[in-house]
């Protein structure tokens, strides 16, 4: 039990740190994009590698944000059937949904790790004026995907050991997140 | 082995079963697509798609536009822009009967030029306008209906995230789609305002007596506060329309601009900036898993031959294009009863778009029609998402039967606007045709 509690704590912390990093990177991408637009239009000189770097950072933002999105219940889910279920059926459905989520994200993580290892093996670099190495971005992406798989697994274990009468569905920390997500 | 159409139908049913069981929509599509690709293209092909597609999609610069638009809207709304728009709209309209209905529609359309989220618009304006409407004796049902309906304008007027996702999933130009939504968005706002004017004229009890006209000085002072809204809208829409930058560049400029404006006006605390960044990161991750799943699903349909077969079948059935669009409208209305707009769009595009373009429809025009259909669905009782956004934000001041009653006139207006957009494609296609 202590081991599970420690793993649970560690996973939550890692997911949160990854999420904060993703949030800060958003600001970096916005500022870089702005600098590039201004430089291109005012000085007729695009910032070298900005497009490639923004893209690589976006992948890190997306993949590092996945675990926390699951933790906050921000993923888009159709709940019309599950909300109508009784506690027992709801528990079975949640176990099934979380198991599918964990399996899918673990497969994505496995393949992205393979992608990162392959990038490392031949020192893959971005195509373009600024040939920065791509391995760190792919490795961070793979780490984010593994965190997401672990978050699904963590919720799955909690759902299995918790009685059906107690709802363990992740709830959004901010109402706006689910509102926004559902909308777009 | 199954034929491509049966295989496609099995995949759709499997995906729906997973989604209804509570699997996140993007993962449901991705998981079914992987199994489908495994069966049709072999294990190595399925694994190769799984290796390359997620990272390649998430690292595509064209997709940077999504988090940037979300971030711009989040910062702009937390810096008080919505209140200023509403105050200004109310000042210029308050001497007419039903002014607050009109002000809600006008300011929601104004805010749509810096926000791409219909639910956020509906929830924000419920908090800003509903209380005042009820206090002054406006009809509860029509007030709630006007707020819910006006929220949908955000999906049409750029920056619209619905158009960005449509463009990225279909390969249509995102810039053209964003610009194509402008006139339909304005048309919708005008139609709502004319409709409300007619309702209030026909039944004066829907609104209290008008207030005295505001002084020019008061209006002028309020208008000056709107510089931030106009600046942001001009930078984003102007940048795309005039070709100064790509949609992603315009989004970055808009997000940084919103931040600079909020800081300059001392309307943003560190805590709210952090909250905006966090909510944008969560939304981005949640949206991208749907986009990745949608693209994998599209890939599966192409490899399985489902798209070709479905297109051939539709052509052999000889259904008239208009009948097909009407059929789609019915399907979307039904889907909208239990699905959110984003899921609806991503789940149906892989097979609807190729059929529509094979029938000779313009892809950009269909993007406008599709967004309009999706927005009509989110207004449709019993479970239209915008109705619940208003109910949630109203905190008990409006009940479901009220909003069901209040939304009906706006649904009728929506159908009229939709018919106009179908009958006159130039409403959508004229502006993109003028782009530089």
Return d(Cα B89, Cα B85) in angstroms, integer. Answer: 6
Nearest to B49, CA basis, from B292, B358, B222, B386 = B292
Which residues partner with A125 through β-bridges? A133
For A55-91, b/e burial (b = at least 16 CB within 10 A) is bbbbbbbbbbbbbbbbbbbbbbbbeebbeebeeeebb
Which pLDDT score, from 0 to 100, does residue A182 have?
38
Q: Whole-angstrom Cα distance, residue A36 to residue B64? A: 14
Q: What is residue B215's DSSP assignment?
A: P
How does pLDDT run along chain B (436 residues), one tens digit per residue?
Answer: 788 889 989 999 999 999 999 999 999 999 999 999 999 999 999 999 999 999 999 999 989 999 999 899 889 888 888 888 888 998 999 889 999 999 999 999 998 888 877 877 888 889 888 988 998 899 999 999 999 999 999 999 988 889 999 998 899 999 999 999 999 999 999 999 999 999 999 999 999 988 888 899 989 988 888 888 888 888 888 888 888 889 999 999 999 999 999 998 888 888 999 999 998 999 899 989 999 998 998 889 889 988 888 888 877 888 888 888 888 888 887 777 667 777 788 888 888 898 889 888 999 999 999 999 988 888 888 767 788 889 888 888 888 889 999 999 999 999 999 999 999 999 999 999 988 6
Nearest to B26 among A20, A76, A80 (CB): A76
Q: Which of B42, B15, B33 lies closest to A108, judged by CA? A: B33
Chain A contact set for B63 (CB, 8 A): 55, 58
Distance, in Å, from the CA atom of B254 to the CA atom of B235, rounded to the nearest integer, reads 7
Select from A23, A79, A180 the Cβ nearest to the Cβ of B277: A23
Give B94→chain A minimum CA distance, Å: 31
Pull the structure tokens for residue B331: 């399907």
Distance, in Å, from the CA atom of B127 to the CA atom of B120, rounded to the nearest integer, reads 11
* pLDDT above 60: residue A5: yes
Whether B284 and A65 lie within 8 Å, measured CB to CB: yes
In chain A, % of residues over pLDDT 90: 63
Q: What is the pLDDT of residue A79?
A: 80
Q: For the purposes of burial, counting CB atoms within 10 Å of the CB of B314, is it exposed (0-12), middle (13-18) or buried (19 or more)? A: middle
pLDDT digits (tens, 9 = 90+) for A12-58: 888 889 889 999 999 999 999 999 999 999 998 999 989 999 999 99
Distance CA B156, CA B368 (A): 8
Q: Is the pLDDT of residue A179 over 70?
A: no
CA atoms within 13 A on the CB side of B150: 36
Res. A177: pLDDT tops 70: no
Is the predicted pLDDT of residue A181 greater than 50, yes or no? no
Q: Cis peptide leading into B382, omega within 30 of 0?
A: yes
d(CA A124, CA A114): 13
Token readout for B70 is: 């979300």
Q: Which of residues 60-89 of A touch B (CB under 8 A)?
A: 61-63, 65-66, 68-70, 72, 74-82
Q: How many CB pairs under 8 A join A and B?
A: 249
Give pTM, 2 decimals.
0.85
Q: Please tell me whether residue A7 adopts helix, strand or coil conformation.
A: helix
Q: How far apart are CA A62 and CA A141, in angstroms?
A: 8
In whole angstroms, give the CA distance from residue B420 to residue B413: 11
Q: Is B1 exposed, middle or buried (0-12, 13-18, 19+ CB in 10 A)?
A: exposed
Contact B127, B389 (CB under 8 A): no
Determine the distance from the C-alpha atom of residue B391 to the mean position of all C-alpha atoms in its chain, rounded to a whole number: 19
The verdict on a CB contact (< 8 Å) between A78 and B283 is no
Neighbours of B272 (CB within 10 A): 15
Confidence of residue A80 (pLDDT cuts 50, 70, 90): confident
CA distance B180 to B364: 7
Can you tell me whether residue A125 is helix, strand or coil? strand
Per the CB < 8 Å rule, is B120 touching A56?
A: no
Q: What is the Cα Rg of chain B in Å?
A: 22
Which residue from B368, B347, B378 is spatially nearest to B119, judged by alpha carbons? Answer: B378
Q: Quote the pLDDT of residue B83.
A: 84
Q: Which residues of B touch A137 (CB under 8 A)?
A: 59
- Give the Cα separation of A72 and A170 in Å (integer): 6
Q: Give the position of tokens 């104004």.
A: B110
Q: Is the pLDDT of residue A172 over 50?
A: no
Q: Average the pLDDT over each of A93-107, A142-156, A159-173, B38-52 and give the range with the smallest value.
A: A159-173
Give the B window 86-145 contacts with A, CB below 8 Å: 116-120, 123
Q: Say whether pLDDT at A180 is over 50.
A: no
> Which residue(s) pair with B283 in the sheet?
none
Give the residue, B194 or A165, on which the prediction is more confident: B194
Taking contacts as CB-CB distances below 8 angstroms, the residues of chain A near B34 are: 104, 107
Q: What are phi and psi of A133, to 5 degrees?
A: -70, 140
3-state secondary structure of B346: helix
CA atoms of B128 and B12, how far apart (whole Å): 41
Element (H, E) at B243: none
State how far Cα A48 lies from the chain centre: 28
pLDDT at B338: 67
CA–CA min distance A90, chain B (Å): 9
Mean pLDDT of chain A: 88
From chain B residues 168-227, the ones with a CB under 8 A of any chain A CB are none
- Give dist(CA B245, CA A40) in Å, integer: 9
Chain B contacts in chain A segment 7-66 (CB below 8 A): 19-20, 22-24, 26-27, 29-34, 36-37, 40-41, 51-52, 54-56, 58-59, 61-63, 65-66
pLDDT score recorded for residue A171: 59
Chain B residues 320-359 with CB within 8 Å of chain A: 338-343
């Amino acid at each position: 039990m202590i081991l599970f509690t420690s793993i649970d704590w560690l996973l939550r912390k890692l997911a949160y740190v990854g999420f904060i990093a993703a949030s800060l990177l958003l600001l970096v991408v916005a500022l870089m994009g702005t600098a590039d637009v201004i430089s291109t239009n005012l000085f007729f000189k695009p910032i070298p590698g900005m497009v490639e770097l923004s893209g690589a950072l976006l992948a890190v933002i997306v993949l590092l944000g996945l675990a926390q999105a699951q933790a906050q219940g921000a993923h888009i889910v159709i709940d019309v059937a599950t909300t109508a279920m009784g506690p027992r059926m709801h528990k079975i459905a949640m176990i099934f949904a979380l198991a599918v989520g964990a399996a899918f994200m673990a497969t994505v993580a496995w393949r992205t790790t393979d992608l990162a290892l392959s990038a490392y093996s031949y020192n893959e670099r971005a195509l373009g004026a600024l040939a920065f190495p791509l391995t760190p971005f792919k490795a961070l992406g793979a780490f984010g995907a593994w965190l997401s798989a672990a978050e699904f697994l963590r919720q799955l274990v909690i759902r299995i050991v918790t009685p059906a009468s107690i709802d363990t569905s992740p709830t959004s920390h901010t109402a706006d997140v689910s509102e926004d997500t559902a909308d777009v | 082995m199954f034929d491509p159409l049966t295989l496609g139908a099995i995949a759709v049913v499997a995906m729906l079963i997973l989604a209804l069981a509570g699997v996140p929509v993007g993962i449901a599509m991705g998981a079914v697509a992987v199994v489908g690709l495994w069966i049709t293209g072999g294990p190595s092909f399925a694994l190769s798609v799984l290796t390359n597609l997620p990272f390649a999609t998430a690292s595509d610069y064209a997709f940077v536009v999504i988090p940037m638009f979300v971030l711009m809207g989040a910062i702009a709304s937390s810096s008080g822009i919505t209140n200023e728009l509403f105050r200004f709209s109310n000042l210029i309209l308050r001497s007419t009967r039903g002014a607050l209905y009109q002000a809600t529609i006008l300011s929601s359309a104004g805010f749509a030029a810096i926000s791409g989220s219909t639910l956020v618009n509906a929830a924000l304006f419920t908090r800003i306008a509903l209380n005042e409407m009820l206090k002054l004796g406006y009809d509860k049902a029509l007030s709630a209906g006007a707020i819910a309906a006006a929220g949908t304008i955000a999906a049409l007027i750029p920056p619209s995230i619905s158009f960005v996702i449509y463009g990225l999933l279909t390969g249509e130009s995102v810039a053209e789609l964003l610009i194509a939504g402008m006139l339909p968005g304005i048309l919708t706002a005008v139609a709502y305002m004319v409709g409300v004017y007619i309702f209030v004229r026909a039944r004066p009890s829907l609104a209290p007596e008008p207030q005295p006209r505001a002084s020019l000085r008061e209006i002028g002072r309020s208008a000056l506060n709107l510089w931030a809204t106009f600046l942001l809208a001009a930078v984003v829409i102007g940048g795309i329309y005039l070709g100064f930058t790509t949609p992603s560049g315009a989004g970055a400029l808009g997000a940084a601009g919103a931040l600079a404006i909020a800081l300059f006006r001392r309307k943003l605390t560190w805590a709210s900036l952090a909250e905006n960044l966090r909510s944008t990161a969560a939304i981005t991750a949640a949206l991208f898993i749907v986009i990745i799943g949608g693209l994998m699903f599209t890939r599966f349909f192409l490899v399985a031959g489902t798209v070709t077969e479905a297109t051939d079948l539709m052509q052999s059935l000889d259904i008239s294009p208009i009948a097909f669009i009407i059929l789609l409208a019915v399907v979307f209305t039904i889907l909208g009863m239990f699905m959110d707009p984003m899921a609806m769009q991503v789940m149906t595009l892989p097979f609807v778009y190729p059929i529509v373009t094979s029938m000779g429809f313009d892809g950009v025009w269909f993007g406008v029609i599709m967004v309009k259909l999706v927005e009509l669905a989110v207004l449709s009782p019993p479970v239209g998402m915008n109705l619940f956004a208003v109910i949630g934000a109203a905190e008990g001041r409006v009940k479901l039967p009220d909003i069901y009653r209040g939304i009906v006139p706006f649904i009728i207006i929506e159908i009229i606007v939709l018919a106009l957009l179908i009958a006159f494609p130039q409403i959508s296609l004229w502006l993109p045709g003028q782009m530089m």
